[in-house]
Amino acid sequence: MISVAPGKGYQIVPDTDLLFMTAARAAALIRSGKLSPVTYMQEVLAAAHAAQPGLNPFVAIMDEPALAGARAAEKAVKDGAKLGPLHGIPVSIKDQVDVDGVVTTHGSAIFADNMPPEDDVTVARLRAAGAVVFAKTRLPEFGHKGLTDGPGFGTTRNPWDPSRTTGGSSGGAGAAVAMGIGPIGLGTDGAGSIRIPAACCGLVGLKPTLGSIPWQQATDAFGNYTYAGPMTRSVTDAALMRAAMVGASDKDPWTLGGGGERGLTPGLIGRDLSGLRIGVIARMANPRVQAEMAEHTIASVDALVAMGADADAAGEGIDWIEMPGRVMYQGNYAVSMARHLGQWSNQMDPSLLAFVERGSKFSMADFRQGQYARTRLFRDIQALFTRFDVLVSPTLSRTALPADFDAAHDEIEIDGEKCGITRQGWSSYVYPFNLTGHPALTIPSGFAADGLPTAVQLIGPWGSDLDLLRLGALLEDARPWADKRPV
């Protein structure tokens, strides 16, 4: 229970009302002195400890540092200090991103003692906006797959159905935010790793434009296709979190050009979307899509059309470069993991080892051909944006996979038909935009008959992140989801 003070009196609010409150609302209550950051953090920490045995979202729950940060936030309110837009808001950080004083394990025994010297730039910016870090969240080893499990920590489970995966690789953040354990979480996305768990867990997830939010962890900064971004339960919270992190950093060369950042398109300010051109992509590399996922995508498009937008089919004839993309993805793991194999292979995830083995068989020519294909895909998407203002697709081809799905060997199954490995059959809608750099937003689109969330993806031109968030907010209003909570 928490105490919220309207005027002079106090009113008791149920725990769930606090835990599922948006960050925007909680921050407003904190700024007005009606919500104690300490009480708020205590409830979040209690929920984190309660969920950990069953769902396993966390690598570390940082009780003392989090409470110290909450006490400092409360003092700042009482002292009349200048407060940031996320003042006192609990935030979890994926264990691929450095937090000062906490090990960054990357989900691997190899880095079990890896103590970073300082906060990552994204964490530093969230703290500057007033957020208080309370936990590190799980990922599969080095974020290599779209499920969150590993030999060192077991399985992170979906709050809507623990027999299903949270998705990955930001699966710990997906489970935590979906359960109301902190309203915001920082994820990363190398081939859909924000959008996959957001879609599996019923959240908003933004992969920003390349170069808008710094990613300082990249080993190859110039060939980077990994992004840091928000995972939230509301579009407004995603926008607040994004705004706190954008901007140039000398640790990420892509940010030095501003990431093509532009403001909100004036025609999207209201609810009249007349003139907005929507390109609907029904398939990418996937042979099938679950009926409910497709139906809910069309329902989302119809909601925008009802506001005046025009929609037409898009994407016909595009080579979505699944195999060239796989060559680059697995080839990179083969190179980056080679130095660890001699000492650590017996403690590494078998699916990661399978990726490394496959990647080691690709030639330099294969890898360079993959890079050439990446350029062709970028230009194909650019051509689409001469005809359309925004692209819409399902986020995934089906709802969350079984928690014990083997990403190295099992095939995706939809309506009884085998559809290939995850990149081909499940996450085919998300990885292309890691390669092209275009921003992509996933938001919930409904629920399937299995009780699990479905999701729709919006893709925009470079720098159009605010436009995507605005369209996401209109869909959030037209097809609300925030009243739905895992049991």
Candidate list 36, 92, 193, 212, residue with the active-site label? 193
DSSP bridge pairs for 310: 277
Q: Nearest-CA neighbor of 316 among 375, 373, 383?
A: 383
For residues 368-402, one letter each, b for 16 or more C-beta atoms within 10 angstroms of the residue's C-beta and e for the rest, the string is: ebbeebbeebbebbeebbeebbbbbbbbbbbbbbe
Q: Is 167 left (phi over 0), alpha (psi -120 to 50) or beta?
A: left
Provide the residue count of the chain: 487
The angle subtended at Cα 100 by Cα 94 and Cα 105, nearest 5°, is 45
The angle subtended at Cα 423 by Cα 421 and Cα 424, nearest 5°, is 65
Main-chain dihedrals φ then ψ at residue 440, nearest 5 degrees: -145, 130
Rounded alpha-carbon distances, angstroms, from residue 161 to 54, 174, 202, 366: 11, 13, 12, 40
For residues 34-45, one letter each, b for 16 or more C-beta atoms within 10 angstroms of the residue's C-beta and e for the rest, the string is: ebbbbbbbbbbb
- Measure the CA–CA gap between 201 and 128, rounded to whole angstroms: 28
Please enumerate in sequence order all residues whose Cβ is within 8 A of that of 407, keeping only pairs 6 or more positions apart, or say none: 145, 146, 147, 351, 421, 422
Candidate list 36, 92, 94, 445, residue with the active-site label? 94
Residue that has been written with the tokens 């080892």 in this structure:
353
Q: Give Rg (Cα) of the chain.
A: 21
- Measure the CA–CA gap between 145 and 150, rounded to whole angstroms: 10
Q: Nearest-CA neighbor of 449 among 296, 233, 234?
A: 296
Annotated active-site residue 193? The verdict is yes
Candidate list 36, 92, 108, 169, residue with the active-site label? 169
Report the run of H or E that residue 445 belongs to, with start and end: strand 440-447
Q: Walk across the sheet containing 58-61 and list its strands.
A: 58-61, 132-137, 90-94, 184-189, 227-232, 204-207, 440-447, 453-459, 390-394, 277-280, 310-313
Q: Is 347 left (phi over 0), alpha (psi -120 to 50) or beta?
A: alpha
For 24, the token pair is 């925007």
- Which long-range contacts (C-beta less than 8 Å, at least 24 apart) are formed by 28-31? 29/4, 30/73, 30/77, 30/83, 30/87, 30/88, 30/89, 31/77, 31/83, 31/87
Q: Is 130 left (phi over 0), alpha (psi -120 to 50) or beta?
A: left
- Measure the CA–CA gap between 145 and 168, rounded to whole angstroms: 6
For 143, the token pair is 């974020």
Active site residues: 94, 169, 193
